[in-house]
Amino acid sequence: MLTATSNVKITESGAQVCGLKEGDQLTLSQALHLLLINSANDAAVLIAEGVGGSVENFCEMMNEEALALGATNSHFVNPHGLTDDNHYTTVYDMYLIMNEAIKFEVFREIIHMDSYTTVYHDKNGAEKEITVNSTNYYFIGKADPPSGITILGGKTGTTDAAGHCLVLLSRDTQNKPYISVIMRSDARENLYISMSELLAQIGN
């Protein structure tokens, strides 16, 4: 069981949160769903502190894992991706990280969901129900992939510095998987236009 500290209160511009408060208790599975489906930055902090003991220790673990995967042009100083001069990555490194993540069935299952509802407990033991929706336009009917392409899941990311970003897992009509990455799009709608144009190259 993970217990939220005061660090789950995130006030940075552009932060996406699900409203966790100090003392809230969630399982790791619940927190992963909130993070991966809704990009909840507060859930990222909850996971980092619960798994790593502190955000700093967890980021050290992230950096060690990235290097082990060959993602040598990345450096992480927070678990949620909000802007920091010392927090950076590349398209290729995101591909490497996604390629490793999809080896885990629980990750593939979560990134395929369009919404999630769960009940957790606050610091007084009272039940709190929360429903979150996917930030992936392909899953909420705001974007359509090219013919013959099935979207299996993905992870969005948006900050003023990085623009609108998406790492996507899809498959073609032969069931062959593909990982596609778009970064620094100037608008969310344009992100999906660019991604669909990229997906249209599959099989060409």
Model confidence pLDDT, tens digit, residues 175-197: 999 999 999 999 999 999 999 99
The answer to whether residues 25 and 51 touch, using CB atoms and an 8 Å cutoff, is no
Looking at residue 68, its amino acid is A
pTM of the entire structure? 0.95
Looking at residue 109, its amino acid is E
Question: Model confidence at 204, in pLDDT bands (50, 70, 90)?
Answer: low
Nearest to 59 by CA among 102, 89, 98: 89
Residues 60-82 have a mean pLDDT of 98
Residue ranges in the chain assigned as alpha helix (H): 28-38, 41-52, 55-68, 91-101, 105-111, 188-199
